[in-house]
Amino acid sequence: MTSADERRILDGLNPEQRLAVETTEGPLLIQAGAGSGKTKALIHRIAYIIASELAQPAEILAVTFTNKAANEMRGRLARLLGVADNRSFMPWMGTFHSIAVRLLRRDGDQINIARNFVIFDEADRLSLVKSVMKELGVAEQQFSPRSIVGYISKAKNACLSPEQYRRQATQSSLQQTAAEVYDRYERRLRENAALDFDDLLLDAVQLLEKSSSEVRRKYQEQFHYILIDEYQDTNKAQYRLVKLLLNDRRNICVVGDDWQSIYSWRGADYTNILNFERDFPGAKQIKLEQNYRSTEEILEVAHRVISKNTKRSDKKLWTDNRGGEPVELIVAGNEFDEAERVANQIWAMVAGGSHRLRDCAVLYRTNTQSRVFEQMFTRNSLRYRLIGGQRFYDRAEIKDLIAYLKLIYQPSDTISFRRIVNVPKRGLGEVSVTKFLAWQSGSGLNVLDALVQADDCAELTPRARKTLSQLGRALSEINKLAGTESPDRIIKQIMRRFDYGGYLDDGTERGEDRCRNVDELISMAKEYGDLASFLEEVALVSGADAVNDDDAVTLMTLHAAKGLEYPVVFMVGMEDGLFPSARSSLEPAAAEEERRLCYVGMTRAQEKLVLSYARRRMLRGETHYSLPSPFVQDVSDMVSGDESGMDEVGDYQGWANYRRGSSVQHAAKHGSQTSEPHYEPDPVELSLGDRVRHQIFGSGQVTSVDGQVVEVYFDDGKTRKLNVAFAPLSRADD
């Protein structure tokens, strides 16, 4: 490496980052605090290894947790080294799941896994579990299929086979049922030549453990260096996979922050990072503590919260970004008041020119909290994007076409067949489909071949046999193209052969939207040369990858915000029992994870952090009086408060006296900094025939009065029965 190369790679690094880059040999733990430039350190470390000719790009395994992160890292690394950014550069940079897919495509036949296996996504998994439960006579009313899926997933992440899980599933009848379903579920997966997400990791581990030693030795010799980002989020299967790939040189570098470990519910084990030096004797540790993201005030508040945890590494973030606004606390009367105050502040900042909508994020503990903000923002013309809502690949028309592609790629995929057999409608009932699949299973034919030969199925009516055989012939013709045609052309063939475009375009705006979604799918499919790579990308894409750059306020859960940053962050619903959750109070480990989650949320903010809670909130149809979150109490002496939602005696105004006339609109028009809501005298007394206005439903007329319960015929044509003690009703000005 020339001195110019070294300067280019090392320039702009602080001393700790530089040390992390230049420490190339042996196990290394980089404890990287929030906003400390860990990605920069990781990229420059890889560049240094390549430029120093310690390893070629293909000899470096670099693991990230999202496809987006992997693509961004590859691009930045290519620019730093001055090479072309394409799929051949850093071929082993990707997520754990994508790496596992490559291992299994290459050598999965060593453990009897078909190389053309398909990957079942969450919807496919749920569908198969429901089918198995039905076979076993397990009623969905008794045990939730999603709960069963969760138990199976946890078992796989713990590297437990169905038999191993059965031996320890003794705590409840739900666990025992999950063990029974797990066993048959696995058999059904194999019959469909399919793997689910968890299988990718589990089977990759089994491949390296149980196959010939030559397979394991091949990959150990291949990877001279292993680097893992977000190591605190690794689970047992991922940990074992890494250990199996590591050779005697032990050149492993892990980067992470135990303070930001928030995924135990999906199997992550933050003790992996706390125990790194124990697991890898002689390991070096480097701390990245300089924060480049947040102001000093934000870091101090965040540190106050996280410092209450007992099981954590020892570090203290600092920044050169002195000054900044104090962290703000909003005490609202109710959730509508809270949403309005947040909207007020956003409009005031936008009107004042200090920030754009895209600079602002609203973070909450649960998805259900988004509803009021969505409604409030919509009513006041605040553009927003909801992260964690229905994603592109979750839309029905997209899932339909993906199911067609899966069945064409893997003709044994009965789950995909079940989805598309009546899409578009073909007049086939569930009885006919079940009879056909039973015949298909007994015949030894895959689904596609069985469809072509459906005329031989005596159990079916003549009409059903004809319909299925026609479907089979059409799919078989398209299947012949799969080896030579690009994915976009295959999709177009499906659209043409089954008139799927006509099925979608029903003349409505929704129909137009569905057609536009399909057009987008075709555009994306053009980027892939073969069907296998396209299907893998679709299966592996994550929720965080869905974030775009539109000028809109971002609404998302605290979990979804991990890895992101915004100039302005509102953390809402900071109430005891909501955040932290009521359930976490019973488990010390869960309570500490809630505190880590709070830390993650706070450290998303670059310039301004606003905490808010409502003194009263409607939950599950009942009004709940709330205390501030312990996290708020931890920092009460460090924040500036706004308690204008409270009345003179310290109680707070009810929904019945909350008027729809919004101060948001005033702030938008005049650039006002006010966040005071408007109230009318309490109580609201209504009579038959009165015109009223509801915070969400709009205007209407009272058609019945029975004490505090009124019936209102709203202008949207719907009649609703409301309790004036709780409903946000006010008189409407005619």
CA distances to 480, 614, 643, 646, 658 from 333, in Å: 64, 5, 9, 6, 10
Torsion over CA of 275, 279, 281 and 286, rounded to 10 degrees? -40
Q: Which of 18, 38, 287, 385 is catalytic?
A: 38
Three-state DSSP state, 152: helix
Residue partners of 31: CB distance under 8 A and separation at least 6: 256, 257, 258, 273, 285, 286, 287, 288, 313, 315
Q: Which of 17, 177, 238, 260 is catalytic?
A: 260
Cα–Cα separations (whole angstroms), residue 482 to 400, 414, 638: 18, 19, 62
> Is 337 a catalytic site residue?
no
Q: Are 287 and 28 in contact (CB under 8 A)?
A: no
Is 463 noted as a catalytic residue in this protein? no
- Of the residues 39, 271, 470, 623, only one is catalytic, namely 39
Q: What are phi and psi of 701, to 5 degrees?
A: -125, 135
Query: Pick from 321, 446, 351: which is nearest to 666 by CA?
Result: 351
Helix (H) / strand (E) containing 194: strand 194-196
Q: Which of 107, 229, 337, 340 is catalytic?
A: 229
Read off the tokens for 278. Answer: 């124990």
Q: Residue holding tokens 């919509």?
A: 378
DSSP 645: T
Closest CA to 201 of 65, 381, 380, 28: 65
Provide φ and ψ at 170, rounded to 5°.
Answer: -120, 0
Beta bridge partners of 61: 226
Residue keyed to tokens 């809630």: 594
How many Cβ atoms sit within 10 Å of the Cβ of residue 309? 17
Is the separation of the CB atoms in 78 and 84 below 8 Å?
yes
Of 120, 183, 186, 172, give the one whose Cα is nearest residue 143.
172
Q: Which of 596, 604, 608, 660 is catalytic?
A: 604
The 3-state DSSP class for residue 370 equals: helix
Concerning whether 603 is annotated as a catalytic residue, the answer is no
Close Cβ partners of 595 (under 8 Å, ≥ 6 residues apart): 305, 306, 308, 309, 580, 631
Residue 304's CB: how many other CB atoms inside 10 A?
Answer: 16
Indicate the burial class of 688 (C-beta count within 10 angstroms; 0-12, 13-18, 19 or more): exposed
Active-site residue flag, 499: no
Q: Which residues contact 25 (CB under 8 A, 6 or more apart)?
A: 249, 251
> From CA 405, how far away is CA 402, in angstroms rounded?
5
End-to-end CA, the chain: 79
Q: In this structure, what token pair is assigned to residue 454?
A: 């459906």
* Ramachandran angles phi, psi of 194, nearest 5°: -130, 155
Is the Cβ–Cβ distance between 418 and 471 less than 8 Å? Answer: no
Buried b (16+ CB within 10 A) or exposed e, 333-345: bbbbbbbbbbbbb
Backbone angles phi, psi at 385, to 5 degrees: -125, 135
* 453 carries an active-site annotation: no
Q: Would you say 571 and 610 are in contact if contact means Cβ atoms under 8 Å apart?
A: yes
Pairing of strands 691-694, 698-706: antiparallel
Tell me if 452 sits within 8 A of 472, measured CB to CB.
yes
Paired tokens of 115: 């190389």
Specify the pairing of strand 616-619 against strand 622-625. antiparallel
Give catalytic status of residue 218 as yes or no. Answer: no
Among the listed residues 230, 269, 340, 576, the single catalytic one is 230
- What are the catalytic residues? 38-39, 229-230, 260, 604
